[in-house]
Amino acid sequence: MRTTPGKGTLRVLGVDPGLTRCGVGVVDVSRDRSATLVHVGVIRSDANAPIEQRLATIAAGLRGIVDAHSPQVIAVERVFAQHNRESVIGTAQASGIALLVAGERGLRAATHTPTEVKAAITGYGAADKRQVQAMVARVLRLDALPQPADAADALALALCHAWRSAGPSATAQSLTPAQQAWADAERSAKR
């Protein structure tokens, strides 16, 4: 089903890049920082398939999501060489595909580090994965944590991008009701 963002909202596609599981999450974020889930899922590619087919599967999946949901920007997790896992090259290749899809569709793209995402979502750059997932579920008013973790990470990236783009959050003196709810949730999550 095609969806379109409401007026004044920013629609972001977050991508947690990976060859076997590429997390994708689309959110709408309003000017008051409140957010709504549009789509969440995982693009999988067969670990036994040739790499060129795996990357084509990921590209096709991402283009399908862009076509269905028309995000204004694609936010991709930044990959570091010092993440010296065996999979870092595959992760970098998948991130390149996500950025390429943005470039070819004329969409803006941005990369954010895991620390930036954690800080944006929980207020704490060293938060653990579960804290981030719990906050994502709370902000998007989900009944359960998004599964699998790659999907939750993609939503966190999308939220991170929208909030960072909007500039620093308002001070406590001038919180809107939505911002106040957010600040409460943030405090509650830190306990």
Instruction: Return d(Cα 169, Cα 149) in angstroms, integer.
Output: 27
Q: Closest approach of Cβ 2 to a copy of itself, in Å?
A: 23
Q: CA separation (Å) from 15 to 21, 118, 183?
A: 11, 15, 26
The catalytic site residues sit at 16, 77, 150
- The DSSP output letter for 41 is E
Q: Closest approach of Cβ 185 to a copy of itself, in Å?
A: 32
Instruction: Return d(Cα 181, Cα 53) in angstroms, integer.
Output: 45
CB atoms within 10 A of CB 184: 12
186 is in an annotated binding site: no
Q: Closest approach of Cβ 20 to a copy of itself, in Å?
A: 15
Q: Give the total of residues touching a copy of itself (CB under 8 A).
A: 33
Q: Closest approach of Cβ 107 to a copy of itself, in Å?
A: 8
For a copy of itself, the closer of residues 41 and 96 by Cβ is 96
Does 126 contact a copy of itself by CB under 8 A? no
Does 50 contact a copy of itself by CB under 8 A? yes
For a copy of itself, the closer of residues 150 and 182 by Cβ is 150
Does 102 contact a copy of itself by CB under 8 A? yes
Q: What number of H helices and E strands is found in the chain?
A: 6, 5
Does 81 contact a copy of itself by CB under 8 A? yes
Closest CA to 38 of 55, 25, 20, 52: 25
Does 20 contact a copy of itself by CB under 8 A? no
For a copy of itself, the closer of residues 17 and 146 by Cβ is 17
List of residues 6+ apart from 72 with CB closer than 8 A: 5, 10, 11, 12, 107, 108
Three-state DSSP at 107 gives: coil
- Per the annotation, where are the binding residues? 16, 77, 150
Contact residues for a copy of itself, defined by CB under 8 A:
50-56, 59, 74, 79-82, 84-86, 88-89, 92-97, 99-100, 102-104, 107-109, 111
